[in-house]
Amino acid sequence: MIKKANTDYPIHELIENRWSPYKFLPDRLVPKEDLFSLLEAARWAPSSYNEQPWRFIIAPREQTEEFEKLLSCLVKANQEWAKNASVLMLGITHLTFDRNGKENKAAMHDLGASVSHLSFEATTRGISVHQMIGIDPQKAREGYAIPENFEALIAIAIGYPDSNETANDTLAIRDRTPRVRKTISEVVFFKEWGSAFI
Ligand SMILES: Cc1cc2nc3c(=O)[nH]c(=O)nc-3n(C[C@H](O)[C@H](O)[C@H](O)COP(=O)(O)O)c2cc1C
Q: What proportions of the chain, in percent to the nearest 5, are helix, strand and coil? A: 35, 20, 45
Residues counted in the chain:
198
Q: Indicate the pairing of strand 150-159 with strand 87-94.
A: antiparallel
User: For the segment 81-113, what is each residue's pLDDT rounded down to a tens digit?
Assistant: 999 999 999 999 999 999 999 999 999 999 999
- Does residue 6 lie in a domain region? no
CATH (domain of 85): 3.40.109.10
Which residue, among 136, 96, 130, has the nearest Cα to 115 in the 3D structure? 130
- Does residue 4 lie in a domain region? no
Helix (H) or strand (E) holding 88: strand 87-94
pLDDT at 163: 85
The pLDDT of 1-20, averaged and rounded, is 94
Of ligand 1's atoms, which has the minimum distance to the CA of residue 135? 8
| DSSP at 16 | H
Nearest-CA residue for atom 31 of ligand 1:
131
> Helices 32-43 and 107-124 meet at what angle, rounded to 10?
140
- Does residue 176 lie in a domain region? no
* Number of domains the chain contains: 1
- Does residue 24 lie in a domain region? yes
Residue burial 103-122, b: 16+ Cβ < 10 Å; e: rest = ebebbbebbbbbbbbbbbbb
Distance 125 CA to ligand 1 centre (A): 20
**Is the Cβ–Cβ distance between 108 and 93 less than 8 Å?**
yes
Q: Indicate the pairing of strand 150-159 with strand 54-60.
A: unpaired
- Does residue 169 lie in a domain region? no
User: For the segment 34-65, what is each residue's pLDDT rounded down to a tens digit?
Assistant: 999 999 999 999 999 999 999 999 999 999 99
- Does residue 92 lie in a domain region? yes
User: Is pTM beyond 0.85 here?
Assistant: yes
Distance 134 CA to ligand 1 centre (A): 10
- Does residue 17 lie in a domain region? yes
Domain of residue 131 covers 13-162
By percentage, how much of the chain surpasses pLDDT 70?
Answer: 100
- Does residue 85 lie in a domain region? yes
